A and B are shown apart, each in its own frame.
Chain A
């Protein structure tokens, strides 16, 4: 197992606390696989980790161009890391377009490992460099540490006897780079060798060639003198003992739905229509039939939610998942679910909008739609996940609220959480909250008539499931008479029902946990109030701000409707409230509206998540003004 360590010459190894790496190349260069493998290796070794893939929205963007660049960013460290890193310390640029597209996010003095074969005349031209200009040669990269490596040439040499075609050989060059990075970060390559053996078990030649390429890259690091002055790095793994798995937000959300179904004793039904970046939830659940998950790929988003409403009426834990344009299509049916008062989980994986907008880029701009995007008075609970792993807990909580409060619930995630990953300490079934469906028992002939809209102390009606004797009832979109559920056009009844439905949602505040501070003192100058995927960036920035001695705290909302009961009080404990959002200030509106305070908004709508530097800079500005 320690093969990869012992055969290495003694080179200076420097310890570091964390490092951020970007693997970037053309879409065809296999950067996603390379990054994923690297991430697996550091995770299994026990590092803290956060990853984020960044690929073009076109399936086959023109090779060699900026729009064809595919990247995989990760940060790993000894202590928890909450983002893939604001700037990277190391950038792998397999071609000149990858370099050009990403250079602005490389630390000054950072390392560039450039695959020189991707910087030939043709590639430079495709990347848009003026004729005769090669950034590797013109001194423009003098602020960085550049290592030109002829990756393709070296891979070809290593595999000259492999018996593979030159195309197949060239496809191994990502493994060469991976091997080199393993060497540079003092990591074992055996895990990758095993992966390649099993992945290509039916194609031994391909497996061998890839393995050879990994090793060639590794030993290239050893043998070449070019890294002599920087040496190797080590990021000592310090993760606590235990069993872990690495999950993306979309995986975590899918697991949560299946887990909630198991825990509640209900069958899971997901009606869904593919849309980036939400599709993997459907894909993941389609693979969970072993846990009884039924998935239905509908003809559109309307059919997706309506099939789930049908399933929920039938007594299933029903869910639907989508992204902005799909949520727009679901709004009419959401109103139906509100008035029917049936449980339904709607996961909305937000992306840049309006319309098709930036389909592969994250944004937090569907908050208004989640809160208000229905006709009529149709309040429903809204919760938001803050990290890939939190997509599990928040989705699970959405399912609990839906089932226990007989209401549709919108769970907001986004394209950043959906695709990012982090290690997750495997959860024990006993730690998951109980989910208790309000299922009505069968009625005996002598019992009083069943009243579908009779409510308990939380104003929750019971769930009468078809097949149960004596509870036959008809409900739908028309206003119902209180308790009986019969169609009613009575003006006073409509007002009563409108208020009851609203009050039912408001009373959820009595049952959810109070808001806690993530970081900082209970009273102070500035509270950074966040929601959703900005968690990692805010957390990191507030950490740094506190270290600088600023009086700053961080609270991150999971419950946006209803808000936790103590939120008003928390907001009042600071001179100023800062709300960073990947939108034009939607939570700012809601907070101002609800609490009549004047928070400071900090918007970013570039299709990019916040990074910690931006937030720290904003905090610093505000603190100075106070």
Chain B
């Protein structure tokens, strides 16, 4: 989180710009925007000290709707722009809005490198498993077999697992939430904002136009409980209707257990520890299983991983401060250099 400079108490409305969102009716982006606007007042950062940076895509329009500073950049490049901004201005609270195509396809290189450097950015990744703005081509997170205008016979590219990619790249914070689950999303956004370092929140966002119901297996009220697991720090991994199921670790292998039938007690279950990278890596892999398959693992929702590590801009500022410990260099010194000579 950025040093705060609270003025008067703000509300979500204070963060709404005068531009009307142009997303399709029913698009998940509306709900995410709403939660972002509602969480900002809680940070106590004045609107002039916040910047939203984005790439290109439907979701990347988000900065226009915020009454903060903002850059709507070019496709895939939000992260380096945000890194440069944060490096130059560590005092700002910098947010990034990006899509699965923007962040993981054209911006894939920047994605991994940003995560390993760990600048204090809040990345909101709108994952709709499709290219929305360009009208429905498959994306690097689209499921195998998905039929789209560019994959009429079904997608044959193996999809990315954003959580595994993020953790494997040295990311220090990964959380997952749904567009529709407003209250929970808000709490996750708050956690992300409070994380010092790059926080990545993957939001399962529905695109009703080009990939409707992509997340229904996890989002629909009737099956949601069976297919998702809400993570809580230091709590056992419980899920299912009435929390009757749990996850046990057999070595490195996560196993779904039925607490009633198996006789396994909650004490034997996997206790969530978001600071444990090994556990986080296994949790990240849960997303590789298809919810309809035999022994499928539930989809973890919440904070999978959080690590405290120095931020890029802090390390950089520290080096500058160190170089200037005996005073900053003057222009005259700069021009003279340290190898000048005098001709008499």
Contacts and interface: CB of A to CB of B under 8 A. Distances in A.
Interface of A: 43-44, 46, 237, 239-247, 255, 258-259, 262-263, 267, 269, 271, 288-292, 294, 296, 298-300, 302-304, 306-311, 313-316, 318, 332-333, 335-336, 340, 426-429, 432, 466-478, 486-487
A588 to B, nearest CB: 34
Given A299-B80, A467-B92, A486-B19, 18 more contacts: A246-B339, A255-B335, A262-B331, A290-B323, A296-B84, A303-B77, A310-B82, A310-B86, A313-B69, A314-B84, A314-B89, A427-B335, A428-B332, A429-B330, A429-B331, A467-B91, A476-B73, A477-B72
- 9 A-B pairs closest in CB distance: A476-B72, A307-B84, A310-B84, A289-B323, A474-B70, A310-B85, A303-B80, A310-B81, A311-B88
A138 B242 CA distance: 99
B316 A466 contact: no
B80 A298 contact: yes
Most buried by A among B17, B324, B342: B342
Contacts of B341: 43-44, 243-245
A242 B336 CA distance: 12
Contacts of B47: 472
B321 to A, nearest CB: 9
A472 B19 CA distance: 13
Interface in B298-344: 316, 319-320, 322-324, 328-332, 334-337, 339-344
Interface string B26-66: 00000000000000000000111101111010000001101
Interface of B: 17, 19, 46-49, 51-54, 56, 63-64, 66-74, 77, 79-89, 91-92, 109-110, 113, 316, 319-320, 322-324, 328-332, 334-337, 339-344
Contacts of B87: 269, 294, 296, 307, 310-311
A472 B48 contact: yes
16 contacts: A240-B343, A263-B331, A288-B329, A294-B320, A303-B83, A306-B74, A307-B81, A307-B87, A310-B53, A310-B81, A314-B85, A314-B89, A318-B84, A472-B67, A476-B63, A487-B64
Contacts of A429: 330-332, 335
B205 to A, nearest CB: 21
Nearest to B319: A289
Contacts of A469: 46, 48
Contacts of A313: 51, 69, 71, 81, 85
A302 B77 contact: yes
Nearest to A302: B77
B77 A242 contact: no
Nearest to B91: A467
B109 A299 contact: yes
Nearest to B341: A44
B77 A472 contact: no
A426 B336 CA distance: 6
Given A292-B320, A315-B88, A472-B48, A241 B343 contact: yes
A471 B86 CA distance: 19
Nearest to B22: A487
Given A240-B343, A241-B343, A310-B71, A294 B316 contact: yes
Contacts of B85: 310-311, 313-314, 466
A476 B339 CA distance: 44
A241 B337 contact: no
B334 A288 contact: yes
Contacts of A426: 335-337, 340
B83 A296 contact: yes
B328 A292 contact: yes
Contacts of A300: 109
A472 B68 contact: yes
A114 B339 CA distance: 32
Contacts of A244: 340-343
A557 B51 CA distance: 41
Contacts of B79: 303
Contacts of B332: 428-429
A471 B339 CA distance: 45
Contacts of A472: 47-48, 67-69
Contact of B328 (A263, A291, A315, A478): A291
Nearest to B320: A289
A255 B334 contact: yes
A428 B335 CA distance: 7
A314 B49 CA distance: 11
B63 A474 contact: yes
Contacts of B319: 289
Majority-rule SS of A interface residues: mixed
B69 to A, nearest CB: 4
A245 B333 CA distance: 12
Contact of B88 (A239, A269, A303): A269
B84 A299 contact: no
A304 B324 CA distance: 25
A466 B69 contact: yes
A300 to B, nearest CB: 6
A478 B72 contact: yes
Contact of B69 (A290, A340, A473, A478): A473
B73 A307 contact: no
B42 to A, nearest CB: 19
Contacts of B113: 298-299, 303
A333 to B, nearest CB: 6
B335 A259 contact: yes
Given A245-B339, A255-B334, A258-B334, A307 B83 contact: yes
Contacts of B77: 302-303, 306, 333
A137 B82 CA distance: 66
Contact of A291 (B54, B63, B67, B329): B329
Contacts of B316: 294, 296
B196 to A, nearest CB: 19
B343 A477 contact: no
Nearest to A317: B88
A470 B47 CA distance: 9
Nearest to B332: A429
Most buried by B among A303, A429, A486: A303
B74 A332 contact: yes
A247 B335 CA distance: 11
Contacts of A432: 331
A290 B328 contact: yes
B48 A239 contact: no
A235 to B, nearest CB: 14
Contact of B51 (A332, A466, A476): A466
A474 B323 contact: no
Contacts of A487: 19, 64
B109 A477 contact: no
Nearest to A271: B84
Contact of A241 (B70, B81, B344): B344
Contacts of A478: 72
Contacts of A332: 74
B74 A477 contact: yes
B324 A467 contact: no
Most buried by A among B47, B80, B82: B80
Given A466-B51, A470-B48, A336 B334 contact: no
Contacts of A310: 53, 71, 80-88
A6 B84 CA distance: 59
Contact of B80 (A306, A427, A468, A470): A306
A478 B320 CA distance: 36
A322 to B, nearest CB: 14
A336 to B, nearest CB: 5
Given A243-B341, A263-B331, A303-B80, A309 B73 contact: yes
A267 B88 contact: yes
A117 B81 CA distance: 56
Contacts of A237: 343
B191 to A, nearest CB: 24
A333 B342 CA distance: 44
